C-alpha cells in the first residue's frame, strides 16, 4: 500500500496529490494507492491514517508513504511505529510549535471547509512527535532551501542520518516535484 498524506489546509486535490495519483495510476496501476482527505483535527487524522495502515498490515501488504509538510510529520510517525518506507517532502518537524499562530477559524480552499483550530490540537499533534529517527534507512527526505513556510534546516538536523535530497531555491510546494516521481518510487519500491 502507498499512502499519500497531504499537509495542513491541503487535500488530495493539491498539485502534488494530483501528480502522485496520476503517476501511480500510469506506472503502478496494481498498487493499493490510498489518498484520504484528512479530518481537520490531528487526533482524528491519525485515527484515520492508523486505521488504513493497520488494515493494510492485516492484509499482509507492504507499507509505503509519501508525506508532504504536515503529512511528512504524520508519515514519520507511521513509518517509525508500523514500519515501511517513507518519502517526506518539505516535512514539518515540530508543527505543534507553530500551532499558536493558527488557533481560530481556518479555511481549506480545496474542500471549501471552514473549521476551528483549538488549543488542544497542539497537544494532540505533539503526541505524534518522533524526537529521534530510529530507522533512518526508511526515509528519503526531499527539501528545498527556498521553503517559505518551514525552515528546511530543521529537517536537515532531524533527518541528517537519512537519505536527503536538498535543492537550492524552490518553495514549500517543492518546485519540480513531478520530476522526482521516478526516484521516489525507486526508493519506496526497491
Task: Write the CATH number for 93.
Answer: 3.40.50.1820
Q: Residue 97: what pLDDT?
A: 94
Q: Residue 99: what pLDDT?
A: 85
Query: Chain-centre distance of CA 38, in angstroms?
Result: 11
* Residue 27 scores a pLDDT above 90: yes
Q: Residue 120: what pLDDT?
A: 95
Segment 6-23 shows an average pLDDT of: 97
Q: Which of 94, 57, 56, 54 is nearest to 72 (CA)?
A: 94
Percent of the chain predicted with pLDDT > 90 = 97
Segment 21-34 shows an average pLDDT of: 98
Segment 136-153 shows an average pLDDT of: 97
Q: Which of 101, 76, 99, 103 is nearest to 87 (CA)?
A: 76
Helical spans, DSSP H, in 83-151: 119-126
Instruction: Report d(CA 88, CA 86) in Å as an integer.
Output: 6
The structural domain count of the chain equals: 1
Segment 35-47 shows an average pLDDT of: 97
- pLDDT, averaged across the chain: 97
Tell me which residue range forms the domain holding 88.
2-189
54-102: pLDDT as tens digits:
999 999 999 999 999 999 999 999 999 999 999 999 999 999 999 888 9
* Residue 168 scores a pLDDT above 90: yes
Amino acid at each position: 500500500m502507498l499512502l499519500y498524506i497531504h499537509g495542513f489546509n491541503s487535500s488530495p486535490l493539491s498539485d502534488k496529490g494530483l501528480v502522485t495519483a496520476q503517476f501511480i495510476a500510469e506506472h503502478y496501476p496494481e498498487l493499493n494507492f490510498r489518498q484520504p482527505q484528512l479530518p481537520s483535527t490531528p487526533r482524528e487524522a491519525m485515527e484515520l491514517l492508523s486505521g488504513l495502515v493497520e488494515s493494510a498490515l492485516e492484509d499482509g501488504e507492504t507499507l509505503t508513504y509519501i508525506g508532504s509538510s504536515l503529512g511528512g510529520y504524520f508519515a514519520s510517525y507511521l513509518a517509525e511505529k508500523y514500519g515501511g518506507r517513507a518519502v517526506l517532502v518539505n516535512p514539518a518537524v515540530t508543527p505543534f510549535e507553530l500551532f499558536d499562530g493558527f488557533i481560530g477559524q481556518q479555511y481549506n480552499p480545496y474542500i471549501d471547509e471552514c473549521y476551528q483550530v483549538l488549543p488542544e490540537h497542539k497537544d494532540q499533534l505533539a503526541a505524534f512527535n518522533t524526537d529521534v529517527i530510529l530507522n533512518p534507512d526508511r526515509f528519503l527526505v526531499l527539501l528545498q532551501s527556498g521553503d517559505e513556510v518551514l525552515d528546511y534546516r530543521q529537517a536537515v538536523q532531524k533527518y541528517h542520518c537519512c537519505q536527503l535530497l536538498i535543492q537550492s531555491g524552490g518553495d514549500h510546494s517543492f518546485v519540480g516535484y513531478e520530476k522526482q516521481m521516478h526516484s521516489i518510487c525507486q526508493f519506496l519500491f526497491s
